A and B are shown apart, each in its own frame.
Chain A
């Protein structure tokens, strides 16, 4: 299967602390890859490296979006990485609370539209057309995610589950080829988690994108993922299908401790 992103020897040091230690990881086209591991394993740090928030100390990150040439994204700024097609959500929700639901999604279109402030002031034809297209596109995404009924509400007053979904909607508005979800099911009840499972699978089918997610809810991870990668102390200790991971000794050791290893 074609790879959309390859990470080689990625290392991230914070002073004397090595948060990620020579990590290799590949993301394949249209797969759902889960990243699991104990707290402090370096999962979120990896996301931060992949989205340009941190510049890794060592290693390479090459993306090859479908239909485009491979290129490195190491050292690019977050907004450029987003334009290249990698986007993410956060563990703790980071919406723009004082903007409406629609505006939150429209902001995601920022990097895909061209008109600037001069065009906005003089109301050129292309600007007006582009603005309409942005509104329609954003509304369409909200419909798909099931948030259309909130369209003009402020993002800050939405119920928790809806806020989580809105983060995903905003991320989709940037037209990514790779979507990073940081604990999408955190704080959700079993029913909501079930709906999320279905939604993520649907996004993969409809948008034809790859999804890399960090999650602690094992039932969720096992049911949704094509492959799972396990991190501990900044290293990748295992990788494989859910069945392979379930029976992997190193994983059991990392999670439960030495004495549980059969």
Chain B
């Protein structure tokens, strides 16, 4: 039973990170129907920014927790700026182009960013400091659930609650939902759609950065390529849940997290990705719109 609990909690933690990144995919898709392939890179840049900030702050002798907070903050700001700029450079000029064009542009941007970080930083894995302190009250449970995992779970939960409140109750959130449902009509009732798209990219990037910092600190090493894998996994989570649906992204993240965790625990860690993607194939066969996605008929 303890082994099961460990796998369950491990899957929960892993899934919450997937959910966090998947939210960015699903929000952008909901609004401009684009699979934003640079999203994984935003996550990777968030992790690198946090690493650089953390290294500098360590030199000045700050304690772990304040480093974690500040490094995350800088990563969030930096990644958001990247997300905002990428949208303006790579997607906005293609707003009225055929749908494949922005997709290709996204892939190009993703390759560009990977190589930019490769040149600016290094191709090797670089160690990432464990920024989450060991909580004393967690000592007894350390073998099944670490402090870092607890931190990940808490942070992602809080962030997701804030996000859903923003989307549900604020004026900007309402404008985001309206834009997702009918962009032209939103414009006609006075919503500045370009601003809403920018805000969506900024929020999505901020979430990815938080995910990047948390997971890097948990795993302990990063390189320029981590965004690709994380991006594909989060994308899978978003599709599993039903792309465009926000609760779907969260659910998809958890389902994927548990699948990987249990497959690793009961079968073999070599098969982690096999199970993850086999699950995707099955869902796509039996529920093409995703778990919570609504299959909608073509607009006439």
Contact = CB atoms under 8 A, between A and B. Distances in A.
Interface of A: 51, 53, 77-79, 82-83, 87-88, 90, 94-99, 103, 106-108, 110-113, 115-117, 120-121, 131, 134, 170-171, 173-174
Contacts of A107: 174-175, 178, 186, 189, 191
How many B residues touch the partner, as a band?
20 to 34
A116 B172 contact: yes
Contact of A87 (B162, B173, B175, B189): B189
Interface in B250-294: none
B185 interface: yes
B182 A96 contact: yes
Contacts of B166: 117, 120-121
Nearest to A156: B181
Contact of A98 (B170, B177, B188): B177
B247 to A, nearest CB: 13
A161 B31 CA distance: 29
A82 B174 contact: no
Contact of B171 (A96, A110, A171, A173): A110
B188 A96 contact: no
B191 A110 contact: yes
Given A110-B171, A120-B170, A82 B188 contact: yes
B190 interface: yes
B124 interface: no
A79 B192 contact: yes
B109 interface: no
Name the residue among B166, B170, B190 with the largest chain A CB count within 10 angstroms.
B190
A111 B196 CA distance: 13
A79 B178 contact: no
Given A96-B178, A96-B185, A134 B190 contact: no
DSSP class of A's interface residues: helix, strand, loop or mixed? helix
A185 to B, nearest CB: 20
A110 B190 contact: yes
A94 B299 CA distance: 12
A94 B175 CA distance: 15
B172 A170 contact: no
6 contacts: A97-B181, A106-B171, A107-B178, A110-B191, A111-B189, A134-B171
B193 interface: yes
Contacts of A77: 187
Contacts of B184: 53, 78, 94
A78 B188 contact: yes
Name the residue among B169, B173, B177, B178 with the largest chain A CB count within 10 angstroms.
B178
B169 to A, nearest CB: 8
A3 to B, nearest CB: 23
Contacts of A78: 184, 187-188
A210 B27 CA distance: 39
B204 to A, nearest CB: 14
A162 B130 CA distance: 58
A83 B174 contact: no
A98 B190 CA distance: 19
A174 B190 contact: yes
Contacts of A53: 184, 188
Contacts of B173: 120
B103 interface: no
Given A96-B181, A112-B190, A174-B189, 9 more contacts: A79-B188, A82-B187, A99-B181, A106-B171, A111-B191, A116-B171, A120-B170, A121-B162, A134-B171
Given A96-B181, A117-B199, A121-B166, A103 B174 contact: yes
Interface in B148-191: 162, 166, 169-175, 177-178, 181-182, 184-191
B177 to A, nearest CB: 6
Nearest to A103: B174
A210 B193 CA distance: 27
Contacts of A87: 188-190
Report, nearest first, the 9 A-B pairs whose CB atoms are least far apart: A111-B190, A120-B170, A82-B190, A78-B187, A117-B172, A94-B185, A96-B181, A107-B178, A79-B187
B188 A99 contact: no
A131 B185 contact: no
Given A53-B184, A94-B182, A106 B190 contact: no
Nearest to A174: B190
A79 B186 CA distance: 8
Nearest to B192: A79
Contact of A99 (B172, B178, B192): B178
Contacts of A173: 189
